[in-house]
Structures are given as structure tokens and as C-alpha cells.
Structure 1
Amino acid sequence: MQRAVVIGGSIAGLLTGQALSAAFDEVVVIERDTLDTTSSGVRRGVPQAKHPHTLLRRGEQILDTLCPGITDDLIRHGAVVMPMDRVWWWQQKGYRAAVTDAAPIISCSRPLLEFLLREHVGSNGVVELRTGETVGLVGGDGAVGGVRVRDPSGGSTVINADLVVDCSGRRSRADHWLTGLGYPVPDVQLVQSDVRYTTRVFHRSTSVRTDGAAGYFVISDPQAKRRFGTAMPIEGDRWIITLAGLHGEGAPTDPAGYLSWARTLPTAKIASIIEDERPIGAAVRFRLPGSEWRLFHRLAAHPRGFVCVGDSVCSLNALYGQGMTSAAVQVVALQQALARSDVMGPEFTRTFYRLSARAVSPAWTTATGADFVYPETRGHRPWPTKMINRYVTQCVVAGQHDPSIAARLWDVANMVKSPASLLGPSALARMVRNAGRRPLGNSEPVTPR
């Protein structure tokens, strides 16, 4: 296979380009934004770039496989390694028990991660990063054969390709392009939770009242408020703090209002950092309607040589930090499809979308299930959702007492294991052992003896 074209230089697009470089002689990644040459530049096309981004453990594993050595590079550039026994997670009126034997996760800013990923991908000798706006597909006889691109000077060119992958995100025009080629567009599952978050960066010193915690995740009692708070360390000795809410709950941007809102969280840890540390820049806001999944895997017909990856397929509530890892598991599905089917054959696209749907389904179930805890959430709600949420609530409370259950919850949150792992025999046995436990209301996580 000679050439592949990737639409979009996002995390999904860069990972896709790197994966395709093993199967194609040439890979062209087309990004609409002018790319910054520094590790702190924010792309205009990533409205949430100034907000926290968590590379979950599963995403980190895939990233290191596709780009060997990149996590070491992140750490050399100041990314923070967060041991799981020092990540304090408050939910259901208590802190999750400390987990000492889980692999740590890496925390950094989105611009740093994109910068280093571009460095790795751009240096492999196969992938070319090109600036331009993709304005259409070139196709005929049941296949897509390339893209039409408008370059920064206003000129238009056609780039021929054996495979085109759309990684242009939630605002993808794939539906419009498919209609233009005479193909059906997928149904879309929507879960509307009206997510609003406000983020501010602070200096990170060693004198703040963190009690040894590396980071905080705080979820208010769903029966009382729809509020969340996170404080994560990033490069440059900084905290990135986000105050978020669902269904109209949004924190103000002025300093007094921001601090006052933080004080409404059920634990004072995040408010203490805001009180003690020096702010860097102003607070910024972002709003997201919720989660959406384009059900490409249910379509009966597809053009050959064209698939979608990342948020172009499945965009999740950003509060749960699954977006980049969701894109990564789709890229693995793309590799698997390339290994199983001829890219120009009729089975390739169907094979990919089937594998992709299987890969993102656990994250979709976890994110939307959490949103449906709140009665205001609207959208497709599978019938067992309420029953599952009651069981997960019991797991969360048991995880405050039992580090083994806490470890399973972390594995699910990090997309290392499926949510179904919470229903395995050993997990159920521990749940029976912890039946009837009440929330701890503890001031710090329980540590294993």
C-alpha cells in the first residue's frame, strides 16, 4: 500500500499516523491549525486544550508501544508520575482506599503531550505533517480515493490515497461527505449531561496542605449537588485545577467566586490549594453538551478506503478523562483490521468498525452510566443502567474500606479492565464480605496494613 491520508493532527490523528506508518509507504497527516513549534502552544482547534487531560494507564501502554520512549520523554520534560496510592479520590462520602501495587499514571498538559507526540511521529521517516483544511473526499465506484485540501494560501489540491482516516473530531464532516457519495450516515446515540467546567493554573510548591497527595479527584454526593473538582500536577511545577458541574452547575471565573465554589465541594483539599498557591493566568471555561457515539458499525454499506477514528466516532463526557485513551484503543482496532483484511477489500471497513465498537463500548458504558446517576440526564439509557449504578455505588463504598476493590475500580477507570470485571467471582466475594459497610467520611484514604 502506497499512501494513507489522516484528516486531523489531534492525538487521535497522530497516533493513527504512527500506526499506519508500519503498513504504508507514505502517510500524510493534514491539520487545519498552524502547528506551534513549542511545548506550550495551544492549538485553536482544541477548545479544551487549556483544561486537564489524563492519559489513563491503558492509553499510556498503547502510546509507549506505538512511540517507544515517549513516556520517558514526557517525564524528562517535567510530566509528573502520580503513584496511585497518592491519588486521592473522594466519592460517595469518603476517600477510596490507597492502592500501593497499581502502576502509576502520568500527568501533563495537553500541549506538552501533543508537542512530543508530533516530534516522535514526524521523525519516523514515513509520516508527513501538512497544514491545510480538508474540504471533501474524492471518490467513485464504491471507494474513496483521496481528499481535496485547501492550503493556507487558498489554493486547492487533491491528495490521492489508498486509505483515508477521518480524525477531525466531534465536528467531523464525515456525515456530509458520505451523503455526497451516496452512502447512508450512521445513527447517533446522544447522552446529554450539559458539562461545564472552569479551569485555572496555579504555582505548585511543597508547602501547600496536600497531606502527601499527588492529586485529587472529588465528586459531590449526587443527591446533593452535581459538582466535581480535580487538582492535578503538571510540568513547570504547576497545579491545573478544574471545577466542573453537570446540568447547569458551573463555577465562575472571578477569583472570589472560583474559591467560593470550590469550598462547596465535600472535601476542602482543592479549596486549600486555591487559597495557598499563586495563580498563573486567568480562569477559562469550557462547555460540552455530553457524549455522542456515531454508530458506524451498524451501517449496512460503507465506501471502501475510508474510516473514522477518535471523537469522529465516539466523543465522551470529558469529566472522566477517557477521550485520549478511547482514541488509542480505536487505533489498536485499526491495526487489527489492517492485519486481518485487505484495506481495499469490502470486509476491511466492516471489520474495523466492529472491532472499534467493541473497543470503545466499555468506556461508553462507564461514562454514560455515571451521567445517568443524575435524573436530569437525557438520552439512550439501556434498561439495566439503574441496577448497574446501584451496584457500582456499593463497589465505591466498599472500595473505601477494601484496597482490593479500590484496585479493581482503578483498573476499570484506567480502561485496563472491563467494567464486567467488577462482577467476577473474586470481586463478588469481596463485595459480600463488605456488604453493609457505610461510607467512611474519612479525612484521608485507608492504607493497607
Structure 2
Amino acid sequence: MAAHAGSGHTAIVIGGGLAGMLAVTALLGHVETITVVERDRYPAAPAFRKGVPQARHLHILLSGGQRALDDLLPGTVAALTEAGARSLYLPRDLLTRTPTGWQRRFDERRHPTLSVTRPLLDAVVRERTLLAAAASPTRVEVLEATEAVGLTGDAGRVTGVRVRSRGGEPADRSARELSATLVVDASGRGSRAPQWYAELGRPAPHEETVDAGIAYATREYRPSDPDTAPDVGVNIPGWPQCPRGGAYVPVEDGKWLLTLSGVRGHHPPTDAQGFLGFSATIGDPYVHELLARAEPVSPVHGFRDTCNRRRHFERTDAAPEGFLALGDAYCTFNPVYGQGMSVAALAALAVRGTLERTGGPVPGFTAEAQRAVSRAVDPAWVAAVGADRPYTTDGDAGAGRGERLAAWYFDRLVARAAIDPVVGAAYRDVFCLTAPLSRLVAPRIVLRTVFLPRRPGLAAPPEAVETV
């Protein structure tokens, strides 16, 4: 049920990045007005900006995220492709080195993965969101160079946001209040919701963290001879016996991004010589060899805030009425797994579905919507935490018997997926966020994972593509 004139529902979205814009698309037609509060000023053309600290690093949009994005904003994936984003089908177009060897290149044509720089993706999504807003009954206003400094209301209900301008004359930076039926926190990893909760007189939601201490560094390259450049990306993730990894993938404008990563004690250097040397120490020399045929076109940029963090706003009575957390403000993932943008799209789609069921941000909506967001986040959270747990300071000591059994099973499943088209298809369905976790424990998958012999992957990067 869409909002109509006189419904009186209004919304404020804190943060005008990807999650914020997707929240706007979910709200269109269900509220009369949306005010977006954005700390930065948007660049005139796609460019890196301070408010998106991960922007210089590798970003991918998984097939599940692409479907959600096109459901929210039809035609956006095509627009990104037209703007230069590269589409790589998994596993055909991404050579992947697993702990047991190289993965076979099955030509499934089921999971296209979009490789794109973050500034281009943000610019395209923002443009299409604002165009959709102009065609909707909802009026959208974006307050650039404006920051949220607190919530208004009380412990039981949020009624708006206190904001102030950034920059300009001091007299212009005094706080003012904006009222709203619904406040959506899409302010990212730096969300101050816990502090704002304290100001409202309520405890912060329970926070769960799993920190593998991973850091990564990225540099842009351009192949010296585009005609001889590889036509596929390369992914060599770290594993316990070799806790250094790297991914080398094409993006727009004929450029490639190399992101190197490592756990505590194995962080990649951010100087040019050290970065290049580190690329020779990951689990296979293939990427390092490719760099001999490419020229660096940017400095090395590092990033260390990779902790998996989830604030459980979805639990009973964990959030006041009228407050909803999305994107990294709700749940952040180790970015090395490339899930964050796809999860943001799936979460926004969950919010829109809740609005359609409830008829708008009526009493009880935020609790129902936050639970829907939680369900959208769960598969990616379980996968990221499971992958990072072996690298945490407590390691297996922090895991219960069930989690250790799951880790054993998952280890066998990943090894099997590299060589088995049936298990591999199930693994990719879940990894790409198009199937529930239960897909990995379907009887056929369990039998092939547990009872078939564990065999190594390929000894060298495969050239042959196999039909399935």
C-alpha cells in the first residue's frame, strides 16, 4: 500500500552513501517526504570521498545483490555495465586458488559478479535513485555537508534527528532538529547509534564482534599491452597455513585493482616496493607474475577496519519505535569477502517488503523491518564469521562444539566445491546470496562432501573452460 497525500509519514535517512540511497528507494511511495542527511558534498563526477573510507579498494556486487538492486531500481545493473563495470561469471571468469589447489572453471552462467570501483557504483545508484524519486509521489531532499549529532525523542520512541552544518561560518553550525515518523541510520561503520541510545536513556543493543585482525592494501594497475591482458580475474584468498592473499580483477576504464590482504603479523605494506614484494608471498606466484606485464597507476592505499561487527537491533525491545539501522550501521563484514554492497541491497529490499505488508511506517513497523533486515544479513554473517574465526585471538577456544563441527564440514565443502560441479554450484548459490544456508546441508551435498574422497584441486591456473 503506497502512501498518499495527507498520510503524514515522513522519514530521515542518516547517510547518503550506497546503503542510504537504497533505503530511499525502499521508502519511495510509502512516505510523503524523505530527508537525506549526508556529511560530505557529492562530487560532480565519480570520485573518491572521505566519507567512504573503503572506496579505493576492490568492490564486487554478487549476483544476489544485483537481483536485489535491479528489483529496487530496474535497469541499474545495465547502467553500471554501460558505464564500464566488468561482469565476471563465477567460476568461469575468476581463477580461484583454494588451499587444496586451483578451482576448475565450470561454465555455469548462473552467477555474474560485477566488478566496479566504488565511486562509479555510488554515482550511478545515486543518480538513478534521485530520478526514481522525481517520478514518485515522495519528495526527497538531500542535505549535503550536514551531520547528524543526535536523536530526538525518548527511550520508547525516536521522533527525529538533531543535525548541524559542516563547514561555513560558526554561526551556521548550531544544531537544529528535524522531526520524522521514521529515522533510518545508514551512516556506516562510524555509526554513533550506541551513544545516541545512551542520550535517550536506553542501553545500547548487544554487540557481537569477530575480529581476525585482517588488513589489506590496494593499488590500481593498467596492463602494458591490453591485447595480452588476462581475460579473467584472479582470486588467491589466504588460509591458515598461508595467511596472506590477493585478488586481481578488472574494473572500468581498462584498469585493474590488486588488493592484498593478511592477518595479524602478515599485513601488506603500503609502500610501492613492499607491496610488490608482498604479492610474491601469497599462496601462489601467478598474480605476482601478472604484475610484470602491468604498470601501477595509483599509490598504495591501506585499510585496517575489517572487524565483523553486528549490533543486534532486531532483538526484542532492542530498538525504540521509529528507528531502523541498515548497512554497516547494523552489521559490518570483513570487506575482503565482498558481501557488503550485496547485503545492503538485500536489506533494503527486505525493508520495502515490510512496508508493503504494513502499509507504511506504522506502529510496530520498525521492529518487523529490523527482523527482516536481520534475516537478509544472516547468510553473509555466518559465512564471514565462520571464515574469520580461525584467525581470531581465541581461535577455536571461542567456538563451541557445534561451531567447530561446522568449521570442519565447511572446510571439506570448500575443498570439494573446487572440483565438484554439484557441490560447487550449491556453494556458489549461498556465497552469491541467492540461496539459504540450508542449501549447503541438503542430503545430496552432505553425502558428496562427507563421503566422497577429499581430492586436491588443479596444480596450475586452468585455461580450459568446462561445460556443465
Q: TM-score, length-normalised on structure 1?
A: 0.93
Match of 1:79 in 2: 85
**2:114 counterpart (103, 106, 121):** 106
Letter of the structure 2 residue corresponding to residue 92 of structure 1? P
Partners in 1 of 2:127 and 2:394 — Cα distance? 40
**Partner SS state of residue 135, structure 1:** strand
Match of 2:386 in 1: 369
**1:237-276 matches, cutoff 5 A:** 237-276=254-293
Alpha-carbon deviation of 1:96?
Answer: 1.8
**1:186 counterpart (185, 190, 205):** 205
Match of 1:23 in 2: 30
| Alpha-carbon distance change, 351 to 383 in structure 1, aligned in 2, over 3 angstroms | farther
Equivalent pair of 2:104/2:458 in contact (CA under 8 Å) = no
**2:302 counterpart (265, 280, 285):** 285
Equivalent pair of 2:105/2:462 in contact (CA under 8 Å) = no
| Alpha-carbon distance change, 169 to 141 in structure 1, aligned in 2, over 3 angstroms | closer
Tell me if 1:164 matches 2:183: yes
Match of 1:9 in 2: 16
1:118-139 CA deviation, whole Å, 9 max, x = no partner?
Answer: 1011222133222111112121
Match of 1:54 in 2: 60
1:274-311 CA deviation, whole Å, 9 max, x = no partner?
Answer: 22101102111110251111011224253221111111
Partners in 2 of 1:71 and 1:81 — Cα distance? 10
Partners in 1 of 2:303 and 2:87 — Cα distance? 26
Alpha-carbon deviation of 1:162?
Answer: 1.2
Partners in 1 of 2:381 and 2:102 — Cα distance? 25
Letter of the structure 1 residue corresponding to residue 414 of structure 2? V
Partners in 1 of 2:335 and 2:328 — Cα distance? 11
Partners in 2 of 1:189 and 1:24 — Cα distance? 33
Equivalent pair of 1:192/1:377 in contact (CA under 8 Å) = no
Gaps of 5+ in 2: 1-6
Q: TM-score, length-normalised on structure 2?
A: 0.89
Match of 1:128 in 2: 141
**1:406 counterpart (416, 424, 431):** 424
Match of 2:4 in 1: none
**1:279-318 matches, cutoff 5 A:** 279-300=296-317, 302-318=319-335
Partners in 1 of 2:68 and 2:87 — Cα distance? 17
| Alpha-carbon distance change, 45 to 141 in structure 1, aligned in 2, over 3 angstroms | closer
Name whichever of 114-123 and 263-272 sits farther off: 263-272
Gaps of 5+ in 1: none
Equivalent pair of 1:148/1:156 in contact (CA under 8 Å) = yes
Alpha-carbon deviation of 1:144?
Answer: 1.8
**Partner SS state of residue 42, structure 2:** coil
Partners in 2 of 1:330 and 1:401 — Cα distance? 32
Alpha-carbon deviation of 1:217?
Answer: 1.0
| Alpha-carbon distance change, 216 to 361 in structure 1, aligned in 2, over 3 angstroms | same
Match of 2:226 in 1: 206
Match of 2:358 in 1: 341
Alpha-carbon deviation of 1:419?
Answer: 2.8
Alpha-carbon deviation of 1:318?
Answer: 0.7
Alpha-carbon deviation of 1:433?
Answer: 6.4
**Partner SS state of residue 214, structure 2:** strand
Partners in 1 of 2:413 and 2:463 — Cα distance? 16
Partners in 2 of 1:140 and 1:372 — Cα distance? 38
Alpha-carbon deviation of 1:375?
Answer: 5.8
Equivalent pair of 1:18/1:127 in contact (CA under 8 Å) = no
Partners in 2 of 1:381 and 1:342 — Cα distance? 42
Letter of the structure 1 residue corresponding to residue 226 of structure 2? T
**Partner SS state of residue 298, structure 1:** coil
Letter of the structure 2 residue corresponding to residue 127 of structure 1? V
Name whichever of 117-126 and 60-69 sits farther off: 117-126
**1:143-154 matches, cutoff 5 A:** 143-152=157-166, 153=168, 154=173
Partners in 1 of 2:28 and 2:165 — Cα distance? 23
**1:195 counterpart (214, 217, 221):** 214
Letter of the structure 1 residue corresponding to residue 240 of structure 2? P
Alpha-carbon deviation of 1:445?
Answer: 6.8
Equivalent pair of 1:292/1:315 in contact (CA under 8 Å) = yes
